[in-house]
Structure 1
Amino acid sequence: MKLRIPTVAHGLRLQSRRASGISYPRFLEQQLQQLQFSASKNYYSTQSVEGRYKEKLLQKAKREGLASVAELKDRLKEEIEVKKKELNKIDPLKELEDYEQRMKMSENNIKAAKSRGPIDPNQAVLPFKTLDTFLKVDKLRDLSPQEIEFLWRARWTNKNLALNAVVPQAIFAKMLKNVRSSPAFVLPLPRQIKTSEEGTQNEQGLELHYIQWQIMSANTIHCMMTSLAEFKLHKEFAKPHTTFQFHQELVSDKGIVLMNGQIEQDSNVSLQDAQLLLLNVQRFYGAMGENTAIAKQRVQLLHDFTKGSPNFSVDLLIKLAQSMEN
């Protein structure tokens, strides 16, 4: 039984009327001749790229004032490495999102808290508060650092969900160096997740928080904390659940930085939660120094996050945040 081969005459006729006069064997013969002609030409050189473009590379080297292609390659080596690093960059927030999906953390975060809604973009922006808002700086200059600390702590004694600290200037300077180069980061926070409708069963989970620094003036710096779920939902209009203010007015004559923090009433963040996040802010931003191996790891991971380095790892972030070692 012979197989019927579908005719291609109609298809060829649509392309060219003259093609209908060529028999199918003749058509194949012409195609084979064309292939043989193409193969005889050196379209696919086996020479290396450098070999084929040696003359052009040498001309470029001479324009750059260099004697050889080798010297040109040496000069371009650093530029090539920079380009490679740019191509290998990752989006740390995308890495975090992938991790959440793998660990089902997004579902846990939804269970842990409801969205607080975005900041109203039309809301009037109030002036930020300086140290003089809380204590008169002129009067503080006549006091010792110990007396200032006593007054500062007393100022916040009866405030709900408030934190305060007096930071030595040398320690704050270590943090500030890393704040300037890495003004954003993420930190994990342990969470008890309800696994039953009645709330009788819980399991240990994690919630990621987005840390943002903002230099308000020469003397005032803010550190704002927002759950990563809220940040992804509302971006720049996400409401911080906690804000820390660092005041540097007394650095030059007293050698101290005064800090106060406030947790929002409608957030699901406790005083202990904020304290733990603040502790890890200090550790990852180098406030405790970089003298130990784990301290160096924390600061390096901060920089890896900022640069989008493929070395950034969510697993390592959690491990370093949970470690009690400094």
Structure 2
Amino acid sequence: MFRLGRTLVRYNSISAKYQAKLAQKAKQVGAASVEELKLKLADQIEQTKKELNKIDPLAELEAYERKQAMKAQATKPAIPIAKDTPKLPYKVLNDYVDLDKLKELPRREIEYIWKARFQDKQKSVHAVIDAVPFAAMYANAFKNPNFILPLPRDNGYEMHFVQWAFVGPATVHCMLTTVAEYKLHGEYAKPHTTLSFHQEVSDKGVILMNGVIENDTIPMDEAQLLVLNVQRFYGMGEQNEKKLKLLKQFTTGDDGFSTEDLIKEATTF
């Protein structure tokens, strides 16, 4: 679904690196295979699950919706917005390209301009996404605005928290931070990866995405793997029932949510 720019490595390259890390970890702990590694780490996985179950994503979503509603009511203009109105607190598509001119172009030229805009940005990711599959991703994100995704570490797995924010009528953010950072700072946790999805030219059949990776916090290839799994869990639609089931279970706090199943789905390519 994502047609990624030069800053993202190919799917097979990411998969190979990920599997290599898992195999290396298995060797370190004396496991004959990745599957045996998961069995050896079963206790640790269960403990992680118990800790993560303390997070109440529904409560956070309700609090977020209340804040947004109060903010919208407080800032509702009584007169038409003037041209010299201060900029929004988040970037929209027009902050990166001339939107009026972009709307006059065909899809192919829009894709070329977007890729050229970010080709020299070392800490960024970008993509051109088909509007139809993005609609499924948007719907899944709206229903399940929080989730967790694993990354392999020497002592097991490190969990990363996914947070979606619908900041404007044509702008959606997806933020990634470690669960440890989120537990420490809550909604004020600083994300190591922030993706912005721009829908202003969706009538051309495309959604434009760009993102920033704080690579002093997380290596680029690990952030790219997380971005890939955001796509795999949120953007596959009904084609992947297991991943959708995990999303729904996490959102509702279902006791059936299994961190072991999550790791299996996230690490199986």
Q: Using structure 2 for the length normalisation, give the TM-score.
A: 0.67
1:229 alignment partner, one of 180, 189, 196: 180
Q: For residues 104-253 of structure 1, what are the structure 2 equivalents within 5 Å? A: 127-191=89-153, 193=154, 205-252=156-203
Could you tell me which residue of structure 1 aligns to residue 248 of structure 2? 303
**Unaligned residue ranges in structure 2 (runs of 5+):** 1-43, 52-86
Change (3 A) 1:224 1:97: farther
Could you tell me which residue of structure 2 aligns to residue 315 of structure 1? 260
**Unaligned residue ranges in structure 1 (runs of 5+):** 1-94, 103-124, 194-203
Change (3 A) 1:282 1:265: closer
Shift of 1:307: 0.4
Could you tell me which residue of structure 2 aligns to residue 262 of structure 1? 212
The one-letter code matched in structure 2 to 1:238 is A
User: Aligned partners of 2:264 and 2:45: how far apart in 1?
Assistant: 15
Change (3 A) 1:97 1:220: farther
Change (3 A) 1:316 1:172: same
Q: 2:137 touches 2:237 (CA, 8 Å); kept in 1?
A: no
Matched, 1:99 2:61: no
User: Aligned partners of 2:222 and 2:213: how far apart in 1?
Assistant: 10
Shift of 1:309: 0.7
SS in structure 1 at match of 2:139 = helix
Q: Greater RCO between the two (CA within 8 Å, min separation 6)?
A: 2
User: Aligned partners of 1:153 and 1:255: how far apart in 2?
Assistant: 16
Could you tell me which residue of structure 2 aligns to residue 30 of structure 1? none
User: Aligned partners of 2:135 and 2:50: how far apart in 1?
Assistant: 37
Q: Percent identity?
A: 47
SS in structure 2 at match of 1:207 = strand
User: Aligned partners of 1:98 and 1:206: how far apart in 2?
Assistant: 12
Matched, 1:288 2:233: no
Shift of 1:140: 0.8
The one-letter code matched in structure 2 to 1:225 is L
1:272 alignment partner, one of 215, 221, 244: 221
User: Aligned partners of 1:208 and 1:129: how far apart in 2?
Assistant: 28
User: Aligned partners of 1:96 and 1:308: how far apart in 2?
Assistant: 17
Change (3 A) 1:237 1:149: same
**Larger radius of gyration, structure 1 or 2?**
1
1:276-322 CA distances to partner (integer Å, 9 max, x unpaired)? Answer: 1111111111x13322xxx1000111000000111100000000000
The one-letter code matched in structure 2 to 1:149 is E
User: Aligned partners of 2:50 and 2:247: how far apart in 1?
Assistant: 22
User: Aligned partners of 1:238 and 1:126: how far apart in 2?
Assistant: 21
User: Aligned partners of 2:49 and 2:258: how far apart in 1?
Assistant: 13
User: Aligned partners of 2:173 and 2:198: how far apart in 1?
Assistant: 9
Q: 2:170 touches 2:198 (CA, 8 Å); kept in 1?
A: yes
User: Aligned partners of 2:202 and 2:119: how far apart in 1?
Assistant: 24
RMSD, aligned CA? 2.1
User: Aligned partners of 2:88 and 2:46: how far apart in 1?
Assistant: 33
Query: Structure 1 residue runs of 4+, over 3 Å off?
Result: none
Q: Using structure 1 for the length normalisation, give the TM-score.
A: 0.56
Shift of 1:265: 4.3
Change (3 A) 1:100 1:313: closer
Q: 2:126 touches 2:211 (CA, 8 Å); kept in 1?
A: yes
SS in structure 2 at match of 1:128 = coil
Number of positions where the alignment pairs a residue of Structure 1 with one of Structure 2: 191
Could you tell me which residue of structure 2 aligns to residue 41 of structure 1? none
Shift of 1:234: 1.1
1:117-142 CA distances to partner (integer Å, 9 max, x unpaired)? Answer: xxxxxxxx971000000011111122
